[in-house]
Amino acid sequence: MEKEVNVYVFPASPDTDKIKNYLASKAIPFKVYDVHSDQKAHKRMLEATRGACRAPVIEIGNRIVCGLDKNRLDETIATELK
């Protein structure tokens, strides 16, 4: 079963478009959740990060990457999606 990639964003964040473009450039399908307007998504993000991160957050399977940390994101993609 393929692991889902969820991106929890706050539209005003400067990293939101960068993260979406980065994942798209790697041909990784992902779902985007706006934590500003979607309270359920906001709650899921807080539960997944245990409140340790603010949007944007990338969730791949059970692993979390906070913000645009390309090294950690690449490592997580390599271990979780390949």
DSSP string, 58-71: EEETTEEEESS-HH
Residue 21 in this model has a pLDDT that exceeds 80: yes
For the chain, what is the mean pLDDT? 93
In the block, residue with structure tokens 């399908």: 29
Query: What value does the mean pLDDT take over residues 19-43?
Result: 95
Within the chain, residue ranges assigned H as helices are 15-25, 39-49, 70-80
Query: What domains can be seen in the chain, in order of their start residue?
Result: 5-80 (3.40.30.10)
The sheet that has 63-66: what strands, in order across it? 31-34, 5-9, 57-60, 63-66
pLDDT number for residue 9: 96
Closest among 65, 69, 68, 11 to 81, alpha carbons compared: 65
